[in-house]
Structure 1
Amino acid sequence: MPPPRIVLADDHVLVAEGIQQLLASEFDLVGLVGDGRALLDMIQELQPDIALVDISLPLLNGFDAVRQVKKISPNIKIVFLTMHDDKTFVEEAFRVGACGYILKESAISELVFALHEITAGRNYVTPSLAQEPATQAGKASSPQHGLSPDSLTQRQREILQLVAEGRSNKEISQILSIALKTVEFHKTRLMRCLHVQTTAELTKYAIAHGLVTL
């Protein structure tokens, strides 16, 4: 039986290279990307068995990328490999369709063990975070940082992330292939919805919810 085919989405080169070496003996790592939009293209092209995904990916964060991945490839197994140790992030991960959640600080051997568990059809969460997250699937999470990003539309979340990454309105319109006025409209609506008045406050919100990192 051929080894599971895996794609990895992580924008930290050293982390990605380390994982690539770790998995080489037991898994077939068929693709490596550094942002969420590239992940969508790669999964559509390669149709892997498992996707290892960081949450804080550039251009399109891991949660929103996985929401779209599940429409492209509903049977793919999603494993989040992340630095975020907030249990509300674990709940959100399973809510968008993950079957695994592993902290990057965990022992290297844990990742291999977790992938074997997931390949066998079982869910896996780093033990320090485990609190029956799979039972939370489909339930609304209760973020500790105010209004949940789920209250926003997909387009609003995409624009929020790009604003927080420091992209100009013109750059955002090019990345998303939408009109400049549409970007400005959504940005204004975002500020109203989140009750903020500045780009700095939008950025603070995005960081708190794992959409971007400092």
Structure 2
Amino acid sequence: MVLSAFPDVEVVGEAADGAEAVSAARALDPDVVLMDVRMPRVDGIEATRRLARAGPRPAVLVVTTFDEDEHVYAALRAGAGGFLLKDAPEAQLVAALRTVAEGVSLLAPSVTRRLVAAFAPAVPAPAAVPLDVLTAREREVLLLVARGLANAEIAGRLGVGEATVKSHVSHVLAKLGLVSRSQAVVAAYEAGLVRPGW
């Protein structure tokens, strides 16, 4: 009901659990899936992981009442494009939908600083993705993505066109075997390319 009140948002389906969400998303091909963390049968993290394996569409915005670090981290590792709390105002929810639909990562303001500050010591890091497969320019683009810059901002910083930045981001994702900018940010932290506070 909340989303239907916005003229540029069309709700194309609903699901009662994670398995149903994956099936519905595959059948309906939405731009964005709003995914709860705690659901019966298949939880939102696993459902997000299944959707991400199929490719970059749809983007997944995890919306939950739980903002514990492990949920945020697990959602990003699974391929979610954003993480928002259910108590977010309606306008913020719709803005988050639009942001994630554009391929830009988004975290709820209440968890961003705490997560970044605690990222390195709090999360046992799996084997870091090797970045030596990237060109110098691709590493530079990855660094700016990890610092939270949008494609237009990266283009301005590097003095190139936005289409060139999109191409570099696509190459980074392909070379590292990733499906989203969120996963690229995690990979940059795990590889030591960027650290909290940089």
Letter of the structure 2 residue corresponding to residue 122 of structure 1: V
Mapped contact 2:62–2:80 kept (Cα < 8 A)? yes
Structure 2 counterpart of 1:12 = none
1:34 to 4, 11, 16: 16
- Residues 132, 113 of structure 1: alpha-carbon distance in 2 compared, 3 angstrom cutoff: farther
Structure 1 counterpart of 2:4 = 21
1:76 to 58, 83, 94: 58
Mapped contact 1:47–1:73 kept (Cα < 8 A)? no
2:69 to 87, 92, 99: 87
Structure 1 counterpart of 2:48 = 66
Match of 1:28, SS state, is coil
Match of 1:29, SS state, is coil
Matched, 1:100 2:82: yes
- What's the offset of the Cα at 1:128? 0.9
Q: Give the number of aligned pairs.
A: 123
Mapped contact 2:3–2:9 kept (Cα < 8 A)? no
Give the RMSD, CA atoms, in angstroms. Answer: 2.8
Provide TM-score, normalisation by structure 2: 0.55
Runs of 5+ in structure 1 lacking a partner? 1-17, 143-214
Matched, 1:120 2:92: no
Q: Percent identity?
A: 26
Output the CA distance in 2 between the equivalents of 1:56 and 1:113.
Answer: 23
Output the CA distance in 2 between the equivalents of 1:40 and 1:116.
Answer: 21
Q: Deviations over 1:29-73 (max 9, x none)?
A: 111111111111111211211111000111110001111112234
More strand by share: 1
Structure 1 counterpart of 2:39 = 57
Mapped contact 1:99–1:118 kept (Cα < 8 A)? yes
Letter of the structure 2 residue corresponding to residue 52 of structure 1: L
Runs of 5+ in structure 2 lacking a partner? 125-198
- What's the offset of the Cα at 1:141? 3.6
Provide TM-score, normalisation by structure 1: 0.51
* 1:4-15 alignment, distance < 5 Å: none
